[in-house]
Amino acid sequence: MAPDGQRRDGQGVDAQFLLGAFRRLNKTLRLRPLLFEIRNLTLEALEAEGVSLLVWNDAHTQLEFHLAFNEVPETRHRPTLEPGQGMAGWIVENDQAVVSHDVSKDPRFSHEFARQAGFVGRSLLGVPLYRAGIVFGAIVVLNKRRGAFGERDLATLRTLADPISIALDNALTFQIARRERAQNEALYRVGLVLSRKMDLEEISETLLDQLLKVVPYDAAAMYLLDGQGGILEWFQQRGYPEGTVDKIHLKLGQGAVGWAAGSGEALILGDVRSDSRYVSARPETNSEMVVPILAEGNVIGVLNLEADALDYFTVSDLRVARAFANQASISIVRGRLYRESRDRARLQHELVLARSIQRKFLPSAAPSVPGYEIAGTNRPSTEVSGDAFDYITLTPTQIGIFIADVAGKGVSAALILATLRASLRTEAAGRYSIAEIVSRVNRLIWESVDPGQFATAVYGVLDTENGVFSYVNAGHERPFLLRARGTLERLSAGGLLLGLDPSTPFELGRITMEPGDVLLLFTDGATEAGAPAGEAFGEDRLGIFLRDQASEPLPALLDGIVREVEVFSGGNSLEDDVTLVALRRSPSEPA
């Protein structure tokens, strides 16, 4: 019997049956309930055991099962047929109805799908489904309960196909509208949130959180292009194993992410294991979608989504992800500018703080030493280096002179220098030998700083009664000793850099300063200052200038050296501090 107790004639179904079918199929616009109604109505009308319904996907590349042997698959896990595959594929490709009395002998029938569903096919009939006169799917009915399918059954299915197509088209359109509304609302929300956020971490977190609501994923990551060496840095992630971020560093063209960054094109991988561009970050992943993030046509990052299921991401998902990427690109550019501004402000604060720390290391005035003239200066560069000098009064007839240069710049270098200066003053007060003092300081620096950080220094003690200057040079520029008679000597006795090796020995050096002799200690900021052509000022120029201007008062001599270096540099800002200390034995001092 036909549904609702209506009779069928040889030409199909009567008007009452058709009216009843229309009423049943138009009770809802929601796709899932409609599919169940299509199943029930078709099985009743054809007195059949099974029904499948397939529709083109969004990209028109595969037929998706909306009904698979009476079951309604989950949206994200619908089985698919390739064009022309299976009975439904043949019907759509050829735009023809089919009646098959023995599917076991029909090569068009997909037995694999039937077996997976636990369904044994015997007989079949199927017809195309039309939308606006164009085939967009097929409905296939299986196994007549009694007897075989005939022309009456085909006429019935043809008649049902029209209201089914209309109801299905309405439900799919409604589903698309609901989905687009949800996507637009999500885009609107993410736009509002991103417009208020300046921090890149917050921007990326918001993007991935909101995208999950409209394109569900099992793992996601946002990469940003560093703009220098073409490296894609993993900036934000969801769902990856701990420690993955430390392992994934992609270059342009490397992996699916690198491919998208290099080409500027999006990519969907239905099966990552069949594509050599995939770089595995989690073993569960089977599908991947990558979308470049563009700003003014240039790739600034990549959005990467992964799923455990095969063939998971759709063209519709890609459209949504692209929209999110476009929305995020403006915020990312703004966030980068904000970060650069914040970093500049932080750097400026750090420079002010470091400069303040550094100034505290510098003597406010030179000590008064009968029979000698002492002067020192520190001319800062645009950045804060680790230069310093100091005078340490040990006894009425002994004064310590110290100059140092710490590798690095900023607060870090200033704090290392603070440790160096404080430890030197502490050890010097212990009446140890000069070499022992430097050895103790060396060990402390080695224990206190990170690997790769070090300092150079010269520490010496002047015996004012005898004119003897005893010193250790720990890897520093060799001081000049200009004799009154015009010869130039260098002070090199000592050892390696401070902080390099805790057990390194230091050699003590001694010189006797005669009346009129000038000792000049300096940092590499003077000798390595560069001219616009790239040539360094160098030690030879410094020695010549010292010899030519040795008769000047020491403050004037040091100022002259600094001016000479600045002129040589073409008036450009110095790249490093210039620190100088000079000691002269008075010419009137008796031998």
Distance CA(262)–CA(249), nearest Å, equals 15
Does the pLDDT of residue 208 top 90, yes or no? no
Distance CA(257)–CA(222), nearest Å, equals 10
At CA 531, angle to CA 525 and CA 535, rounded to 5? 90
Is residue 23 situated within a structural domain? yes
Does the pLDDT of residue 422 top 70, yes or no? yes
Instruction: Indicate if 169 and 201 belong to the same structural domain.
Output: no
Distance CA(9)–CA(523), nearest Å, equals 108
220-251 core/surface letters (b: 16 or more CB in 10 A; e: else): bbbbbbeeeeebbebbbbbbbeeeebeebebe
Does the pLDDT of residue 86 top 50, yes or no? yes
Pick the more confident residue, 133 or 18.
Answer: 133
Does the pLDDT of residue 195 top 90, yes or no? no
At CA 459, angle to CA 445 and CA 406, rounded to 5? 45
Output the domain CATH number for residue 143: 3.30.450.40
Does the pLDDT of residue 202 top 80, yes or no? no
| Count of domains observed in the chain | 3
Average pLDDT on 19-25 reads 84
**Encoding tokens for residue 563?**
């001016």
The dihedral region occupied by 472, where left means phi > 0, alpha psi between -120 and 50, and beta the remainder, is: beta
Instruction: Indicate if 98 and 52 belong to the same structural domain.
Output: yes
Is residue 344 situated within a structural domain? no
Does the pLDDT of residue 1 top 50, yes or no? no
Does the pLDDT of residue 192 top 90, yes or no? no
Does the pLDDT of residue 583 top 90, yes or no? yes
Output the domain CATH number for residue 407: 3.60.40.10
Is residue 356 situated within a structural domain? no
Instruction: Indicate if 380 and 427 belong to the same structural domain.
Output: yes
Write down the pLDDT at residue 181.
77
Average pLDDT on 57-85 reads 86
- How do residues 332-344 score in pLDDT, each as one tens digit? 767 666 666 665 6
Average pLDDT on 180-199 reads 66
Distance CA(171)–CA(275), nearest Å, equals 35
pLDDT tier at 5, thresholds 50, 70, 90: very low
Does the pLDDT of residue 8 top 50, yes or no? no
Average pLDDT on 185-210 reads 71
Pick the more confident residue, 102 or 8.
Answer: 102
Write down the pLDDT at residue 306.
92
What is the pTM (predicted TM-score) of this model? 0.48
Write down the pLDDT at residue 3.
43
Is residue 137 situated within a structural domain? yes
Instruction: Indicate if 455 and 498 belong to the same structural domain.
Output: yes
Instruction: Indicate if 279 and 420 belong to the same structural domain.
Output: no
Distance CA(455)–CA(523), nearest Å, equals 11
Distance CA(169)–CA(179), nearest Å, equals 15
Write down the pLDDT at residue 229.
52
Pick the more confident residue, 15 or 339.
Answer: 15
Is residue 289 situated within a structural domain? yes
**Spacing of C-alpha 25 from chain mean position:** 51
Write down the pLDDT at residue 360.
67
Write down the pLDDT at residue 10.
39
Give the start-end residues of each E strand in 162-311. 219-225, 231-238, 250-251, 267-269, 287-295, 298-307
Instruction: Indicate if 566 and 419 belong to the same structural domain.
Output: yes
Closest C-alpha to 351, from 424, 412, 271, 397? 412
pLDDT tier at 522, thresholds 50, 70, 90: very high
Q: What percent of the chain has pLDDT over 70?
A: 84
Least confident of 1-5, 164-168, 404-408, 422-426: 1-5
Pick the more confident residue, 253 or 209.
Answer: 209
Helix or strand run (H / E) with residue 423 = helix 410-428
Instruction: Indicate if 38 and 137 belong to the same structural domain.
Output: yes
Domain range for residue 247? 197-338
Terminal alpha carbon distance of the chain: 136
Instruction: Indicate if 147 and 223 belong to the same structural domain.
Output: no
Instruction: Indicate if 154 and 82 belong to the same structural domain.
Output: yes
Residues with Cβ within 8 Å of 175's Cβ and at least 6 positions away in sequence, in order, are 30, 31
Least confident of 74-83, 121-130, 323-332, 453-462: 323-332
Average pLDDT on 200-225 reads 83
Is residue 64 situated within a structural domain? yes
Could you say which of 322, 338, 354 is where a domain stops? Answer: 338
Q: Do residues 306 and 285 make contact, with C-beta atoms less than 8 angstroms apart?
A: yes
Residues with Cβ within 8 Å of 171's Cβ and at least 6 positions away in sequence, in order, are 28, 29, 30, 31, 34
Does the pLDDT of residue 439 top 90, yes or no? yes
Is residue 353 situated within a structural domain? no
Does the pLDDT of residue 396 top 60, yes or no? yes
Write down the pLDDT at residue 149.
92
Instruction: Indicate if 435 and 567 belong to the same structural domain.
Output: yes
Average pLDDT on 507-517 reads 95
- How do residues 540-556 score in pLDDT, each as one tens digit? 999 999 999 999 999 99
Distance CA(287)–CA(285), nearest Å, equals 6
Instruction: Indicate if 501 and 579 belong to the same structural domain.
Output: yes
Average pLDDT on 51-76 reads 87
Q: Residue ranges of the alpha helices (H) in 27-82? A: 31-46
Pick the more confident residue, 302 or 18.
Answer: 302
Is residue 184 situated within a structural domain? no
pLDDT tier at 371, thresholds 50, 70, 90: very high
Average pLDDT, the chain: 84
Q: Do residues 262 and 252 make contact, with C-beta atoms less than 8 angstroms apart?
A: yes
Write down the pLDDT at residue 4.
41
Instruction: Indicate if 168 and 201 belong to the same structural domain.
Output: no
